[in-house]
Structure formats: structure tokens, C-alpha cells
Structure 1
Amino acid sequence: MKITICGSMKFNDKFLELKSELEAVGHEVLMPVAVSGLDYWEDDGTKRIEAKKGLGLVGKHLDKITESEAILVANYTKGDIENYIGANTFLEMGYAKYKDKKIFTINPLPNQKYIDDELLSFEPVVLNGDISKIV
């Protein structure tokens, strides 16, 4: 299956681990672009915003979702939010749902009340860390 990994770029190292694990069992994996030389979290967000706009990162990632059969949301703990799903990932999940793609999450959905209904409406398959459940 062709799968696009989605999630906070804070988890890029985990994306690489997931990619290896998925490829080892025969999946083709597409990933978000990690901008080398950019400390994503060092400033007020200006560099991050300019990279996203200048490189067309959001559109390129949505194109990968279009090309895939499924997305895998790498939702790990970020700060004090367990199983974090941020704004871009939420957008990607909505887009995947609109494009009728399967949606898998590594961990259960987060307790983020302001998006609970929408997340549930996307009907993700929660893997509880077990990628062998991807079918």
C-alpha cells in the first residue's frame, strides 16, 4: 500500500523509523519534506512560515496524499498534549477524508475537545502502535 506519513515535524525522527518499519513489510512510503538547516522551533515562526510558503510545502504534501491510498498520522506526545494532532495534520486528515483515503493513527486520538467531533468523523483506524494492523 502507498502511505503518506503525516504529523508534527517535531516527530521527524519517528517518521524515519516508521518509514523503515513500513517499507520492511512491503509498503511504499511518502513523507513530509524536512527542510535541512532550518531549526523549526528556534524563533517566532517566521522562518517556518517562509519555508512553507516559498517551498510550497503544504501543497506538495497534499499532492502526496492524493497519490497515496492511505495516510498514517504519527501522533505522539508533544509538550503537554498526549497523542498530539496539530493544525496541519488536522488539515491533512480532513483532506484525506475528502479524497476517500484510509486514515490510520499510531496512537489513540488526543483529548483536544475543540476538534474531537471532527477527528471522530474522519473515522481513523487507531493502531495503538501496531503497524501490522495497516490493511
Structure 2
Amino acid sequence: MKIAICGSIQFTHKMKEIADELIKLGHEIELPLTSQRILSGQISMEEFEQESEKKERKIQDDVIKRYYNIIHDSDAVLIVNPEKKKTPNYIGGNTFLEMGFAHVLGKHIYILNDIPTMLYTDEIQAMKPIILEGNLSKIQHSGQPIAK
């Protein structure tokens, strides 16, 4: 199955670890462009975190539309959601948006950990994600779109 991994850029190394496991399980994986750049050494995590104009980079790289297209061409998304900003199972704005894309496109939505308690918890629950509880082997291999 082709899976687009979504999550905060601060989770890049965790996303890479998960991507490697999923590849071993026979899946094809997509990672966010900024994560790819961090992993390839084009930019360091420190440089990314200190970047004052993240908005400009997002506009220049058209990251929202770019990842929409990747999600469109994938069978599923996997939301990587460890703790961030003292919020257990954090799902930020971009990741929530990507979940919405997947939902509207009829893709499977997997969440690594439980759904966080946030302002948009109800909306996340309404997308009926599959909670993996950290167990990647729960991801189905069918690749069939979910019923709308």
C-alpha cells in the first residue's frame, strides 16, 4: 500500500523510523518535503526551528498543494502523533488539514497513537481514523479505497 506519512516536522526522525519499518512490511512511503530535506542534510532541524519565515518557505514550495497531490495518489495517510508542546498525541494544523484531504478523498486514515484532546477532537473523530496504538502491523495491505 502507498502511504503518505503526516506529522509535525519536529517528528521527522520518528517519521523516518516508522517509514523504514513500513517499507520492511512491504509498503511504499512518502515523507513531507521538509522532512526529506532534513534527512538528506540540506537543512538541519536546528536551522528549520530557527527559521523566521516558515510561511515564505511553505508558499515557495507550495507544500500544502504538493502534499494534497501526494495524498491523492496514496492509498492511506499515517498520522505520526507523539507528544509536542505538552500535548499528548499532538496533531497540528497542517496535519489536521492533511487528514481532511484524506477523508474527502476517501483514503484510509491511520493514527499512530490515540486522538489528542484539542479544539478539533470532534472533527478528527468524525473522520473515523483507525487508531494503531503504536502497532504498525494493524495497517491493512488491501490498498482499496474506503467506502464513502
Specify the TM-score bucket, using the shorter chain as the normaliser: over 0.9
Q: Which residue of 1 aligns with 2:32?
A: 32
What is the CA distance between 1:40 and its match in structure 2? Answer: 2.4
Question: How far does the alpha carbon of each residue in 1:63-119 deviate from its partner, in whole angstroms, 9 at most, with x for none?
Answer: 11000000000011012011000000000001100000000000000011x201100
Q: Distance in 2 between matches of 1:40 and 1:51?
A: 10
**Residue equivalent to 2:126:** 121
Q: What letter corresponds to residue 89 of structure 1 in structure 2? A: T
- Displacement, 1:37? 2.2
Greater Cα shift, 75-84 or 32-41: 32-41
Structure-2-length-normalised TM-score: 0.86
Q: What is the one-letter code of the residue matched to 2:122?
A: D
Q: What secondary structure does 1:82 align onto?
A: coil
Q: For 1:40 and 1:66, how far apart are their aligned partners in 2?
A: 27
Q: Which amino acid aligns with 1:3?
A: I
Residue type matched to 1:132 in 2? Answer: S
Q: 1:55 & 1:105 partners in 2: Cα distance?
A: 26
Write the distance in 2 (CA, Å) between the matches of 1:119 and 1:68: 20
For 2:75, the aligned partner's letter is E
| Structure-2 residue corresponding to 1:20 | 20
Flag structure 1 segments of 5+ consecutive residues without an equivalent.
none
Q: How far does residue 41 in structure 1 lie from its aligned partner after superposition?
A: 1.8
Residue of structure 2 aligned with 1:79, choices 78, 85, 104: 85
Structure 2 stretches lacking a partner, 5+ long: 141-148
Give the TM-score normalised by the residue count of structure 1. 0.94
Greater than 4 Å deviation, 4+ residue runs = none
Report SS of the residue matched to 2:109.
Answer: strand
Q: How many residues align?
A: 132
CA distance in 2, matches of 1:116, 1:83: 11
CA distance in 1, matches of 2:98, 2:83: 19
Cα separation, 2, equivalents of 1:78 and 1:129: 17
The structural deviation recorded for 1:57 is 1.3
Cα RMSD for the two superposed structures: 1.1
- Give secondary structure in 1 for the equivalent of 2:4: strand
Write the mapping of 1:1-135 to structure 2, written as runs, cut at 5 A: 1-34=1-34, 35=37, 36-37=42-43, 39-43=47-51, 45-46=52-53, 48-112=54-118, 114-135=119-140
Q: State how far apart, in whole Å, the 2-side matches of 1:117 and 1:79 are.
A: 20
